[in-house]
Structure 1
Amino acid sequence: MYAQLATRSAYRDGLVGNWFDYYKNKLRYLGWDSARPVRPEQAGQGLMADSVSRQISQSFGGSFSRQASHALGALERNPEALEVFERTSLLRDTGFFQVIPCTSKSSGKIEIGLYHKQFRTRRTVSGFLFWPIEEVVESSQEEMAVVTFSTLHYATFRAKVAAAVIAETNRHLHALEL
């Protein structure tokens, strides 16, 4: 969450050229291993959520796909959460979001699938995830990578990371419009 908030803030302020590269660098700062790029399958047509699930399934495999589909289904069933997700993912005619399923790799290691989608809309929209892509999206780019996170290695940096996460979270909370 910290890496996403920090990246979103830097991107919004014009400090970041490539969202996904900056995000991966933030993860590396937190002690995550280097990301292995994964070539995304074609986005296809239909509902954006279904397209995302297909891409994750075809590129990462079943264990990642089940978790991603479950998370997207939970968003569909919770209108308030969906509204927050879509509102924070859109900036004028541009949208970007991540789906980040994870699975246990071995003792002390977690494998994380990073799915990043960035798109331009055909018109001003307030929702996109459960709308047909061809009606909403003018152009899109997907980037994917697999990152291994060592929970044992993380313990070394825990205090430093916790302080950075708390500072960024507080900054984000103060910036929220109430």
Structure 2
Amino acid sequence: MNEANGAVIGAGAVSFLPGLSLAQKNKVKLALALAERATQTAFDEGLVQDWYAYYRNQLKFMGWDAVSAEQVHWPDTQRAEQVDKVLGLIAKTAGERFASNVEVSLQRLCNSPQTLAILEKHARERGHFQLLSCAPAGQNRVDMVMYHEIDTQDAWRAGFITRERGMKNVRAELVRFNILAFENSYLPKVQARVVEVSLQRIHDYDI
């Protein structure tokens, strides 16, 4: 498996910068899959209206915390002017290395038709789309920029990744994940069947 492999989980594309071990990436993907499953179930049952807010809280329970403002790495001033609006927002939120990683990840995802079709299907059904780029932060911690975009179902037709973005309903933030806290406090409480079903929601692709 390529060190910089990515994955589609629900309506989100997850990518990894170099420096994370396979075990660390698998824990991150499992946490995201568990949060995605719990959120979508609650949303389908009409228990929540704000999908992203509930998803964000699910991650918080597992060991994800917002990164303080002084920890955000701002890119050079010209970066946001030179790239697509999505990448510009990601660069502004978390730094150029995250934006570059997402750009490469999306290019490779477009070359993986079967996995891309899964992402497009979920985006159409749910009316939202996510980009989640992860990087090592030391001491079994992972930084992740979360980009979440909401639009009408018609907007998520085939090829939506490369279309011009309206940027009307988007959110982006940088969060940090404590892998050991996830392994030692949250994961032992999760039933094996829930983990098994959540793992089935992960669709890997090479970057």
The normalised TM-score by structure 1 is: 0.72
Cα distance in 1 for partners of 2:109, 2:87 equals: 13
Does the aligned pair in 2 maintain the 1:6–1:168 contact within 8 Å?
Answer: no
The Cα of 1:89 is off from its aligned counterpart by 1.0
| Structure 1 match to 2:109 | 75
| Partners of 2:89 and 2:129 in 1: CA distance | 14
Give the superposition deviation at 1:36. 5.9
Structure 1: tracts of 5 or more residues without a match: 39-43, 174-178
2:181 aligned to which of 153, 163, 171: 153
Distance in 1 between the 2:188 and 2:84 partners? 39
2:198 matched to which residue of 1?
Answer: 169
| Aligned residue pairs, count | 157
Tell me which residue corresponds to 2:65.
33
Structure 2 distance, partners of 1:172, 1:109, is 23
2:112 and 2:200 map into 1 onto residues whose CA distance is 27
Q: Residue 126 of structure 1 aligns with which residue? A: 157
Report the Cα offset of residue 3 of structure 1.
Answer: 0.8
Q: Is the 8 A contact 1:118 1:141 kept in 2?
A: yes
- Distance between the aligned counterparts of 2:165 and 2:104, measured in 1? 20
Flag the 1:22–1:81 CA change in 2: closer, same or farther, 3 A: same
Deviates more, 1:164-173 or 1:21-30: 164-173
Q: Which amino acid aligns with 1:141?
A: N
Distance in 2, Cα, partners of 1:76 & 1:50: 16
18 and 105 in structure 1: CA distance in 2 versus 1, 3 angstrom threshold: same
Determine which structure has greater relative contact order: mean sequence separation of CA pairs < 8 Å that are 6+ residues apart, divided by chain length. 2
Shift of 1:168: 4.7
Moved more, 80-89 or 29-38: 29-38
Structure 1 match to 2:99: 65
Identity %: 25
Query: 1:50 & 1:13 partners in 2: Cα distance?
Result: 36
CA contact (8 A) 1:68 1:101 kept: yes
From the superposition, tell whether residues 35 and 6 of structure 1 become closer, same or farther in structure 2 (CA, over 3 Å).
farther
Change in CA separation of 1:168 and 1:148 when aligned onto 2, cut-off 3 Å: same
C-alpha contact 1:103 1:112 (8 A) present in aligned 2: yes
The 1-side partners of 2:90 and 2:54 are apart by: 21
Cα distance per residue 1:106-155 (max 9 Å; x no partner): 2222111111111125x476322223346xxxx84111222111123223
Q: Indicate yes or no: 2:163 matched with 1:144.
A: no
155-164 vs 55-64, greater mean Cα deviation? 155-164
Tell whether the 8 Å contact from 1:110 to 1:148 is kept in structure 2 after alignment: yes
Q: Give the aligned CA root-mean-square deviation in angstroms.
A: 3.1
- C-alpha displacement of 1:63: 2.0
Q: Structure 2: which 5+ residue stretches go unaligned?
A: 1-32, 73-79, 203-207
Which residue of 129, 134, 137 corresponds with 1:97? 129
